[in-house]
Amino acid sequence: MHSVAQVLEIVAAILLLGAAGEFIFSRTGIPDVVWLVCAGVLAGPVFELVSPSLLRPAVPLFGAIALIIILSGGASRLRLEDVTAAGPRALLLGVGGFVFSVAACCLWLWLVTAMGLVTPAPPLAWLVAGAIVGGTSSLIIMPTTAAGKIDSQTARLLEVESSSTDALSIVTTMVLVDLVVGGSLSLSRPFVALGRELGIGVGLGLLAASVLILVAPSLKRNAHAYTAFLAAMLLVYGAASQLEGSGAMAVLTAALLLGNATALVPRLIPGANAQAFETGENTRVVQDQMSFFIKSFFFVLIGLMFPTSPRLILLGAVPVLLLLAARIPAVWLATLGLRLSRKQSWMLIIAVPRGLAAGVLSAIPVHYGIAGPDFPPAIFSLIVTSILVFCLGVTLVGRMPDEAEPRPERVRHETTSGAPLGGAGGHSGPD
The candidate with the shortest Cα–Cα distance to 248, out of 184, 205, 290, 191, is 205
Examine the pLDDT at 102 and tell me if it is beyond 80: yes
Examine the pLDDT at 422 and tell me if it is beyond 50: no
Q: What is the pLDDT of residue 420?
A: 36
Examine the pLDDT at 426 and tell me if it is beyond 50: no
pLDDT tens digits along 154-168: 887 887 788 778 778
What DSSP string runs through 117-184? SS----HHHHHHHHHHTSS--HHHHHHHHHTT-S-HHHHHHHHHHHHHHHHHHHHHHHHHHHHHHHT-
> Which of 120-129, 202-211, 265-274 shows the lowest mean pLDDT across its residues?
265-274
Q: What is the pLDDT of residue 311?
A: 92
User: Between 398 and 7, whose confidence is greater?
Assistant: 398
How far CA 136 is from CA of 162, 210, 410, in Å, comes to: 5, 31, 30
Which pLDDT band, with edges at 50, 70 and 90, does 87 fall under?
low
The candidate with the shortest Cα–Cα distance to 359, out of 290, 431, 309, 310, is 431
Q: Is 305 helix (H, G, I), strand (E, B) or coil?
A: coil
Which pLDDT band, with edges at 50, 70 and 90, does 60 fall under?
low
> Which of 183-192, 222-231, 305-314, 330-339 shows the lowest mean pLDDT across its residues?
183-192
Examine the pLDDT at 408 and tell me if it is beyond 50: no
Examine the pLDDT at 282 and tell me if it is beyond 80: no
Examine the pLDDT at 128 and tell me if it is beyond 50: yes
Q: What is the pLDDT of residue 148?
A: 67
The letter for the amino acid at 292 is F
Q: What is the mean pLDDT of residues 321-350?
A: 92
> Which of 56-65, 85-94, 129-138, 227-236 shows the lowest mean pLDDT across its residues?
56-65
Task: Map out the domains of the chain with their CATH numbers.
Answer: 57-399 (1.20.1530.20)
Q: Which DSSP category does 338 fall into?
A: S
> Which of 37-51, 174-188, 350-364, 416-430 shows the lowest mean pLDDT across its residues?
416-430
**Rounded percentage of the chain residues whose pLDDT exceeds 90:** 20
Q: What is the pLDDT of residue 184?
A: 52
Mean pLDDT of the chain: 79
How far CA 272 is from CA of 209, 211, 215, 219, 254, in Å, comes to: 17, 16, 14, 17, 20
Q: What is the mean pLDDT of residues 407-423?
A: 39
User: Between 36 and 346, whose confidence is greater?
Assistant: 346
Q: What is the mean pLDDT of residues 64-93?
A: 74
Q: What is the pLDDT of residue 100?
A: 96
Q: What is the pLDDT of residue 280?
A: 65
Q: What is the mean pLDDT of residues 120-145?
A: 87
> Which of 164-168, 184-188, 256-260, 378-382 shows the lowest mean pLDDT across its residues?
184-188
Backbone conformation region of residue 379, classed left if phi is above 0, alpha if psi is from -120 to 50, else beta: alpha
CA distance 134 to 121: 19
The candidate with the shortest Cα–Cα distance to 257, out of 195, 196, 200, 203, is 203
> Which of 134-148, 309-323, 357-371, 407-421 shows the lowest mean pLDDT across its residues?
407-421
Q: Where are the strands (E) in 242-390, listed by range?
A: none
Q: What is the pLDDT of residue 284?
A: 73
Q: What is the pLDDT of residue 98?
A: 94
